[in-house]
Structure 1
Amino acid sequence: MRSLLQRSLSPPVALVLAIAAASLNAQQTVGPSLRALPDSPVTVDTSRRDPSGAKIAGPQVRIVPTKGLTRPYALTFLPDGAMLITERPGRLRIVRDGLLDPQPIKGLPEVFDRQFKGLNDIALHPQFAQNRWVYFTYYKPRPETRDGAAAVLARGRLGNDHTLTDVRDLFVANGMVGGASASRFVFGRDGKIYLAIGIPSVNARAGYVTATDAQRPDSHYGKILRLNDDGTAPADNPFVGMPNYKPEIFALGIRNAMAIVVHPETGEIWENENGPQGGDEINIIRRGLNYGWPVISYGRAYSGELTGSSGPSSDRPFAEGLAQPWLFWAPAIGLSGMTFYTGDRFPEWKGSIFVGALVGEQLQRIVLSPGGLPIRRDSLLTELKQRIREVRQGPDGLLYVLTDEEAGALLRLEPAGTGQ
């Protein structure tokens, strides 16, 4: 997959790939649809149909659910194999050996849980075994408003009694966000935190963050930020010392990031984000680049107008000086979650990228050519009819999926017939 990262695709190539992949995306998995998420394990057939209707075999997958979660958002793995799972309403849960602890972890701050905000991402410090630091993002209520909030990166120390102590905010984004906004982060190989903070797609009231903040150098929203592990800005960030620029900014022009991960071979930062009506994207994040929102996009605003109608490039989805996505979706599927599969439990899937879909209610597998280009997108788990919020590869080589529902669940995907 190394050649994926050598350069961005030119707009015409990206367009052709997106159209070709979209046409193949219609190939659904073979198997009956389920009316509700099962209480016990169920096996699904991931075979697909080619355009002629012929069946192409895929692995049989056993889905093992852990239910009882409410709007689960993100997960991370503890060294002993247990999982920490965030719930958007503001709770942190632990799952061990497939069982959900009935008691949430104590010690989290108050969370603003409206308009798709709340408690979002979670990750362990790279030296967690020594320092026990757990990092998380959430939206902090702004007491001066009824519906405004600020994105926050925080951390706490996880005790053996399942309590967070020494909890404090490390970074608080400037400004107030009133619409839908997401926050995702990852520790890079350089030990820095890459924090993506989303931005509403429509203009808000005076004093609130708007879509155009993604292009403003003095706003943290609509950006990829690069931080030290204490929340401060590294001295080697690309815009440090530049007039009007926030020193934490690493890249700009981001809409609403729903996943940010490290490429397992090259260490580069990959991000996916929601478009409005069309224009979901996967981007390879590079130092100082502008990814175009809201000036350019492969989607349209919910009003039906071009998203960049107030900008200089409103008549086309690309413009000089603005980076193109590695891949985009038209129509949008509501991207959320992403992982590179490097495990051995599903040999047929090794080397693929997996993304969740909220609107599309599926897990998508992006199949890559030997040269690292996307050649097909397979729709998986469509039988479940669940909004997929998160997908991660576990240390055991299995895939773990979170469903974004009031009656949400953790799904463990394992080869059928193995019993793990």
Structure 2
Amino acid sequence: MDKPTQTCGRRASERDYTAFPQEVACMHGTQVRRSFSSIVALTLTLSGAAGRAQQTPNPGDPVRDTLPNEPQIFGSATQKFRVVATKGLSRPFALAFLPNGDMLITERAGRLRIVRSGVLDPQPITGIPAVLDLRLKGLQDVAVHPRFAENQLVYFTYYKPKPGEKDVATAVLARGRFDGGHALADVRDIFVAEAWCATPSASRIAFAPDGKIFMSVGVPIRGRAGTAQPEDSQNPASHVGKVLRLNEDGSAPPDNPFSGRPDYRPEVYALGIRNILGLVIHPQTGELWEHENGPMGGDEINIVKPGRNYGWPVVSYGRAYSGDLTGDSSGPTTDQHSAPGMEEPFMIWVPSIALSGMAFYTGDQFKAWKGNIFVGGRRGTQIQRIVLNARGLPILRETLLVELKQRIAEVRQGPDSLLYLLTDEMAGALLKIEPVPAEGPTAAGSVPRQ
């Protein structure tokens, strides 16, 4: 079978575009894995250096370049934009907007920060429980209740350490009340997953239009005796490797797809998941979209349907970090790309850019970007802009911000219609992306399209 379509790498002075033929079956309900053999990718690099091998750091490599203090101006194929950095964060993971436009930001070490009127408050918000801060684990996602003005509820996920174990933790959904000061009050765990993991895993949350909460629980890279195993992603009696659907109090809704079935956890909404680092509701359709961080290749976007199986670790385009085919401890257990009863991905990335954060752009500040999807890349130190056609199929990917050499952890659209990113660095930052007039200069190495 031919290799699936991939975005080729580029140097800092280049910009990549991967264009997909419109007949490529990339929507849910189509056989994407079987169709990839017919995909032809056209990669256009403006500097004429198409096809060079991508040089990206390993997922855990430190990034040596630091962000400049002054705003930087860049050009994309359709839009000039300015990047403004707010520094002072440490390994931020997620952000959420309060009704007044202020931002709550999680740091994996267990700190909840707030940006008020564009300025990072130096004093963290208290009330976060003890977390296990190890690799991807720690304080994870944060979300504001849709009726926050009435109840002041803030929800967050974190990895709760197992007593007596230095590196074992499970994903927890908690909530507390925030009155705008420096403390969460009445904090309590409302759901504790049966998913004790000894290696990296992650958790995201999203509020559905009906007020239910979707929560992802990642699968470990490898198992250890007495802890979760990668194969538990296929085990309906485990919360590992699942998307869960919960009431706002953490209980399981009676209309969940497996409710009442023996040997199934009632909270399970979908299974066969690896590690979700982007979980969002489509602003027009109300569908749940997620992307999974694969091993060396195999990042994928999925549209999540109730009761469906998304394949991990039975089917995958991923390879182990060692470069070996499946069978390594950090890779899938088979080289299958499809199997009966398992869903096809909407898109895949080979090699992996370690997808993290996702946003549908619906604002008016960047008119040329309206309807586009934006995803971040930890390993790829970039964001990618994904253009969809009228049928909702991906037809182009554009790579942006590689020049900054920052691992991107989060991508969100703000209430001001600007884009906001978080950098996954010890000296982390909040990046605001805003438009600039067409006549403005561009940063060195970012030549706008001619």
Query: 1:111-126 alignment to 2 at 5 Å?
Result: 111-126=131-146
Unaligned runs of 5+ in 1: 48-57
Tell me which of 382, 393, 403 is aligned to 2:423. Answer: 403
Tell me which of 155, 158, 163 is aligned to 1:143. Answer: 163
For each residue in 1:101-138, what CA deviation from the matched residue of structure 2 results, as whole angstroms up to 9, or x when unmatched? Answer: 00000111111101220001000111111000000000
Moved more, 187-196 or 3-12: 3-12
Q: Secondary structure of the equivalent of 2:198?
A: coil
User: Alignment length, in residue pairs?
Assistant: 400
Aligned-partner residue type, residue 364 of structure 1: Q
Note the C-alpha offset of 1:237.
Answer: 0.6
Partner of 1:235: 254
For each residue in 1:185-221, what CA deviation from the matched residue of structure 2 results, as whole angstroms up to 9, or x when unmatched? Answer: 100112111111111122x220011110100111101
Answer yes or no: is the 8 Å Cα contact 2:314–2:336 preserved in 1.
Answer: no
Two-structure CA RMSD over aligned residues (Å)? 2.4
Q: Does 1:341 align with 2:361?
A: yes
Answer yes or no: is the 8 Å Cα contact 2:32–2:345 preserved in 1.
Answer: no
Aligned-partner residue type, residue 33 of structure 2: P
Q: Does 1:262 align with 2:319?
A: no
Partner of 1:37: 67
Query: 1:7-156 alignment to 2 at 5 Å?
Result: 7-14=29-36, 16=38, 20=41, 24=43, 35-47=65-77, 58-156=78-176
Q: Does 1:208 align with 2:227?
A: yes
Query: Structure 2: how far apart are the matches of 1:312 and 1:83?
Result: 37
Partner of 1:191: 211
Partner of 2:55: none
Query: Given the superposition, is the C-alpha separation of residues 309 and 295 from structure 1 closer, same or farther in structure 2, using an over 3 Å criterion?
Result: farther
Q: Does 1:414 align with 2:431?
A: no
Query: Given the superposition, is the C-alpha separation of residues 308 and 235 from structure 1 closer, same or farther in structure 2, using an over 3 Å criterion?
Result: farther
Answer yes or no: is the 8 Å Cα contact 2:411–2:422 preserved in 1.
Answer: yes
Aligned-partner residue type, residue 102 of structure 1: P
Query: Given the superposition, is the C-alpha separation of residues 329 and 417 from structure 1 closer, same or farther in structure 2, using an over 3 Å criterion?
Result: same
Query: 1:218-297 alignment to 2 at 5 Å?
Result: 218-297=237-316
Aligned-partner residue type, residue 388 of structure 1: I
Answer yes or no: is the 8 Å Cα contact 2:29–2:343 preserved in 1.
Answer: no
Aligned-partner residue type, residue 186 of structure 1: A
Answer yes or no: is the 8 Å Cα contact 2:171–2:195 preserved in 1.
Answer: no
Answer yes or no: is the 8 Å Cα contact 1:273–1:280 preserved in 2.
Answer: yes
Query: Structure 2: how far apart are the matches of 1:25 and 1:136?
Result: 41
Q: Secondary structure of the equivalent of 2:352?
A: coil
Query: Given the superposition, is the C-alpha separation of residues 318 and 308 from structure 1 closer, same or farther in structure 2, using an over 3 Å criterion?
Result: farther
Answer yes or no: is the 8 Å Cα contact 1:61–1:414 preserved in 2.
Answer: yes
Q: TM-score normalized by structure 2?
A: 0.84
Aligned-partner residue type, residue 88 of structure 2: G
Query: Given the superposition, is the C-alpha separation of residues 6 and 251 from structure 1 closer, same or farther in structure 2, using an over 3 Å criterion?
Result: closer
Q: Secondary structure of the equivalent of 2:233?
A: helix
Q: Secondary structure of the equivalent of 1:208?
A: coil
Answer yes or no: is the 8 Å Cα contact 1:125–1:132 preserved in 2.
Answer: yes
For each residue in 1:161-185, what CA deviation from the matched residue of structure 2 results, as whole angstroms up to 9, or x when unmatched? Answer: 2210000001001141010100001
Note the C-alpha offset of 1:409.
Answer: 0.3
Q: Secondary structure of the equivalent of 1:236?
A: coil
Query: Given the superposition, is the C-alpha separation of residues 304 and 40 from structure 1 closer, same or farther in structure 2, using an over 3 Å criterion?
Result: closer
Q: Secondary structure of the equivalent of 1:183?
A: coil
% same residue: 57
Unaligned runs of 5+ in 2: 1-24, 50-63, 441-450
Q: Secondary structure of the equivalent of 2:84?
A: strand
Query: Structure 1: how far apart are the matches of 2:243 and 2:155?
Result: 17
Aligned-partner residue type, residue 254 of structure 2: A
Aligned-partner residue type, residue 415 of structure 1: P
Query: Structure 2: how far apart are the matches of 1:25 and 1:300?
Result: 26
Query: 1:167-182 alignment to 2 at 5 Å?
Result: 167-182=187-202
